[in-house]
Amino acid sequence: MVIALTTEPSNRRRGFRSAGIAVFWKAWQESRSRFFSALGLLASVVIYAVVTRLDRTGKPELYSVYIWGGLFHYALQVLWIWAAFVIALGGLRREKATGAALFSLGLPVTRMRLFLSRAALACAEAIALGVVSAFLIPIASFFVGESYPFGQALAFGALMGVGGLVIVATGLLLSEMFEGEFTAAAVGLCALTTIFLSYKAETLSGWNVFDVMSATAYVDQTTRLLNGSAPWLGLTVCLLVSIVLLIAAGVMIRARDM
């Protein structure tokens, strides 16, 4: 695959007026297949969960309890975590392993600019995955004769996306730590899955990002809907940890530029 990027103003149809736009376009070209594949996977699990609810005899639990427990607190959450992490992978270290690094280094931008553009796009894509997949829940519910509040769905989707930015930052950091094409993916996915399942099985206990993403301590115990408040402290901690991880990745990039 050949990607032609240029900042030459005379090439207005196929080029870009600024290096910044070119870098964002390059990052989008590299991640869009992963983004749309992840979106399709998340949409599939939402539709499957809503449709299979019809096959449950008795249906002893409230629909909102079923949605929160099965999707926002488990299946949709873990798939979003995998998707967000995979979207964050890439960068010059991986390109060096695949032989494509010379192209990126030939662009009129610094390594840090390349990283920050990729990080910003990965964060935006991760939040979009959370919000869009959550938005599908009330839509799919309508077609099977159930109802779920749009506001609640969007709130949970936003919490998943914003709280989970620490997962994106972890993927970005590991991408700068490991040079192999699949090393960062293998290490990160195995570690995240082990930690996630350990908390869900209560092998590990205490504060964790997964409960912040699903607002576990802020939902009504009967309906599993948000009771009017949000985990602002937890979100703040997640954002601060994300910033620290991004700074650590930036320090590693700076060291290579010296």
What digits encode the pLDDT tens for the residues 122-155?
999 999 999 999 999 999 999 999 999 999 999 9
Residue 254 is predicted with a pLDDT of 84
Of 9-18, 181-190, 206-215, least confident by mean pLDDT is: 9-18
C-alpha distances (whole Å) from 118 to each of 97, 189, 244 are 18, 20, 17
DSSP β-bridge partners for residue 219: 226
3-class secondary-structure state, position 150: helix
Residue 99 is predicted with a pLDDT of 53
Dig out the tokens for 161 from the structure.
Answer: 């996306």
Supply the angle between the helices 75-88 and 19-52 in degrees, to the nearest 10: 160
Run of H or E residues at 111:
helix 111-143
| Short-list 183, 214, 253, 203, CA closest to 81 | 214
Distance in angstroms (rounded) separating the CA atoms of residues 48 and 242? 32
Phi-psi region of 45 (alpha: psi -120 to 50; beta: other; left: phi over 0): alpha
Q: What percent of the chain has pLDDT over 70?
A: 82
Q: Are 165 and 238 in contact (CB under 8 A)?
A: yes
Dig out the tokens for 126 from the structure.
Answer: 């991760």
Biggest CA-to-CA distance, the chain: 68
Q: What is the mean pLDDT of the chain?
A: 86
Q: Are 216 and 234 in contact (CB under 8 A)?
A: no
First to last CA, the chain: 31
pLDDT tens across 201-231, in order? 999 999 999 999 999 999 999 999 998 888 9
**This prediction's pTM:** 0.87
Run of H or E residues at 164:
none
Of 9-13, 78-82, 195-199, 207-211, least confident by mean pLDDT is: 9-13
Residue 6 is predicted with a pLDDT of 42
